Structure 1
């Protein structure tokens, strides 16, 4: 009984949130819709944990949908690499579900709450589909599912600028999706297959053609737009700033990370690192853009007056760290990149949840309006401080593990200048995180502002936030399991095969 069920987990982890979408819509009532959303996300998280454990024990899992063997049928694949990303996405969805009910009740009209839960489930299904599919065209389809639901979720923000932000994201996302589809189409034109493993076998015969080169270029540009890699980042600050708080926390922790995962999957297991970084100068381009992103976005964050926008610019800088690692095309660099994908997801999820809890009390995310909030909301403010320290990379936090791994990989590869830029960007993070901490604890409240009464956000929001903070500290104190998992994943990725 258990073995047949376990064999179906690769498809169930996608189907469960997809099937939950219409059920949530039919439920309609806010309370019932949230309960269904909570059960579906935690069920997906349990399945992701089971898949992670099984892959570690038995190796990659291949699932042929409908019994049609690849390359003719659609294949789902869970291996050491994407099992880690799957765990991050499912875990953040589960934490966001606990957090969402009280937060959304303040930001969304009760009559529309069920739609938000349904869209969050659709977004989750799309992100998981991107992660586990072994078919290039289906990756595009799942990417569009997650993107379309994200546009609608952002548009539901309380402020009117949420609509403009969603429209801006829609335009940029459509361009990115079109580029990706063109790249996949060109690869199909040259090989006659869409299965990633089959593409990896057939592409070397046409490496010297301009069509293959153009296919890789279109795919890289399209996924860079989705991942908000500089200079294709302009949609992200507004999207994160004006989306509802639980939406921001979930998307910031997962969406761009999954896009980078897809880019890494295409570069390493479809086209091959030797082609992308040897015959073509992709690594030089990515390293240059990442270096600019780390510094320019960190500087931009310093001058922001809204905490959510400040953290959004920080995310652009952090994408620079992630792409720098995998552009090294080394086992150490890939491991560092994957470590930071996971750790930054946990850090940003916790920080945006803490800011959402502040907004629940004050109805604002303006840094000036949060002055003096530290003593009034001690638990929430402490969560922000710890999350901020992790973002900076202070020892005993997950952020330190990420940056240590990245610096080690850069030094081992002889990129001392980039290592210095990583340290410089970390110092800039001290400034913009310090700016918020100074307002919370040391800046006097405006004389005309209403006094703040001591009190925290609802307990569910606190539990979700502090669970992520606790994971940050746990990883910082004992990173061996995470580093071991990411090293295995890097070795699998360099070994090839989708």
Structure 2
């Protein structure tokens, strides 16, 4: 059984999805989906442990040797990201039974779990496969499920948002597929390891550069890199809150993984000289400052944190652009840490939506008196988002600053710090409203039920993520060791 863990990582949620539809009872479907997600989490933990001790795992489907057959290839980078996706997917799913109760009709809740598991299977497949065309296939599986999940939102704008996301996602997938086709015409193979071995012979051709541009643009659309981010704020705002928490903590992280895989493993970190690194740093800094500035004035808190996600993606792109092992480690650390931050923040917003049905800024005035545990979670996750010491956010931003200084890019280091100060402003305005603002009288009128704390079904998963933000900010061994090993491997200093 241990020999088949790479394929089981994808097969378990993929087969569990239609089973949830056959069960057709929301609570039973949720329990079965949680069981499948926990199995996937245990598999990803076992894979990371196996890779750290035994090296890269190569799994040949049907016994066909690569490059003729499809290979699942688990190295340190993919094992690290598999753990992030499966862990966050499982924790958010634990909150789903309560979280979707007021946002999705009961007769559609079983279908929700079907789509959730399909999306999760697609994301895990992107990370596990060693075949670049399979990446496209799994990308489409996760994307199609995501469009449907977004459309579940009761606000009519969710349907329009899902349609717009479908259009943008299709454009991104088309760019990626065209790049894959050009690579295949150059190398005659779809196996990523085989492409990496053959590409240096033709890397200076215009076709190779065209393929690179097509694939990077396609992935940039998927990860919402500025200025290709316009689909993300509406998607996060109008999707059901549980869907937003899942997507914010996993989908963009997998897109970052794919960008790293393309840039470092296939084309090589020296492809295109220093131009590519300069472009990444410039776009990353623009993402940080433009998105953070726009976030400050947002009247809807989900939309505020959606723009914040665009800014945090910018930090990860900066680390890639620095182009050193330390810079890449900073990106991988922030990938892990941002999943914890945004998972916690959006689950907190799911708790607010459960009680008051809105995430408008005005509804947060005085809310800490009625929902103290939820607002305390927002404060701690917000501090992590800023990068306060003893939280995970500090660790990754510290490494990005160190990488910038090590490379002589002190203006970049200074801008990273200034960008964090913008986060201080919009997080503080939210905390100020919740703790010192005057509550809207209509929310506590005699005709409406009093606002109470969120139920344990939401609070327990929320506080698992909140405590993880603090724990991994103090005991950094797991993310630091895994990210350092993965970064060294990608830069050619490891295995």
* Mapped partners of 2:145, 2:272: distance in 1: 32
Contact 2:76–2:485 (CA<8 Å) still a contact in 1? Answer: yes
* Mapped partners of 2:217, 2:451: distance in 1: 48
Contact 1:200–1:271 (CA<8 Å) still a contact in 2? Answer: yes
The answer as to 2:476 corresponding to 1:479 is: yes
Give CA deviations for 1:311-342 in whole Å, capped at 9, x if unaligned.
Answer: 00000000000010011111001100000000
**Counterpart in the other structure of 1:334:** 328
Contact 1:383–1:466 (CA<8 Å) still a contact in 2? Answer: yes
**Counterpart in the other structure of 2:123:** 127
Q: TM-score, normalised by structure 1?
A: 0.97
Specify the SS of the correspondent of 2:100: helix
* Mapped partners of 1:352, 1:150: distance in 2: 17
Gap change, CA 1:456 and 1:449, over 3 Å in 2: closer
Which of 440, 459, 463 matches 2:434? 440
Gap change, CA 1:443 and 1:347, over 3 Å in 2: same
Contact 1:272–1:496 (CA<8 Å) still a contact in 2? Answer: no
Specify the SS of the correspondent of 1:232: coil
* Mapped partners of 1:256, 1:169: distance in 2: 14
Q: Give runs of aligned pairs for residues 87-126 of structure 1, distance below 5 A.
A: 87-126=83-122
Specify the SS of the correspondent of 2:73: strand
* Mapped partners of 1:439, 1:241: distance in 2: 20
Q: TM-score, normalised by structure 2?
A: 0.98
Contact 2:444–2:450 (CA<8 Å) still a contact in 1? Answer: no
Coordinate RMSD, CA, aligned:
1.3
**Counterpart in the other structure of 2:467:** 470
* Mapped partners of 2:196, 2:473: distance in 1: 37
Compute the displacement of 1:380 (Å): 0.6
* Mapped partners of 1:478, 1:277: distance in 2: 37
* Mapped partners of 2:177, 2:440: distance in 1: 52
* Mapped partners of 2:174, 2:396: distance in 1: 33
Structure 1: where are the runs of 5+ without partners? none
**Counterpart in the other structure of 1:59:** 55
Q: Give runs of aligned pairs for residues 380-399 of structure 1, distance below 5 A.
A: 380-399=374-393
Q: Give runs of aligned pairs for residues 133-212 of structure 1, distance below 5 A.
A: 133-212=129-208
Contact 1:124–1:146 (CA<8 Å) still a contact in 2? Answer: yes
Contact 1:298–1:429 (CA<8 Å) still a contact in 2? Answer: yes
Contact 1:200–1:497 (CA<8 Å) still a contact in 2? Answer: no
Specify the SS of the correspondent of 1:453: coil
**Counterpart in the other structure of 1:459:** 456
The answer as to 2:482 corresponding to 1:494 is: no
Contact 1:264–1:326 (CA<8 Å) still a contact in 2? Answer: yes
Compute the displacement of 1:496 (Å): 8.7
Give CA deviations for 1:14-72 in whole Å, capped at 9, x if unaligned.
Answer: 01111111111111111221111111111101111111111111111110011000000
The answer as to 2:287 corresponding to 1:293 is: yes
Contact 1:249–1:353 (CA<8 Å) still a contact in 2? Answer: yes
Give CA deviations for 1:319-370 in whole Å, capped at 9, x if unaligned.
Answer: 0000100111110011000000000011000000011101111111001012
* Mapped partners of 1:277, 1:349: distance in 2: 36
* Mapped partners of 2:151, 2:478: distance in 1: 39
Contact 2:122–2:142 (CA<8 Å) still a contact in 1? Answer: yes
Contact 2:280–2:320 (CA<8 Å) still a contact in 1? Answer: no
Which of 231, 236, 244 matches 1:235? 231
Aligned residues, how many? 492
**Counterpart in the other structure of 2:351:** 357
**Counterpart in the other structure of 2:309:** 315
Structure 2: where are the runs of 5+ without partners? none
Specify the SS of the correspondent of 1:274: coil
Gap change, CA 1:127 and 1:30, over 3 Å in 2: same
Deviating 4+ runs (over 3 angstroms): 451-454
* Mapped partners of 1:266, 1:168: distance in 2: 26
The answer as to 2:47 corresponding to 1:38 is: no
Compute the displacement of 1:382 (Å): 0.2
Compute the displacement of 1:438 (Å): 1.1
Contact 2:444–2:451 (CA<8 Å) still a contact in 1? Answer: no
Which of 22, 29, 34 matches 2:25? 29
* Mapped partners of 1:486, 1:411: distance in 2: 19
Compute the displacement of 1:449 (Å): 3.9
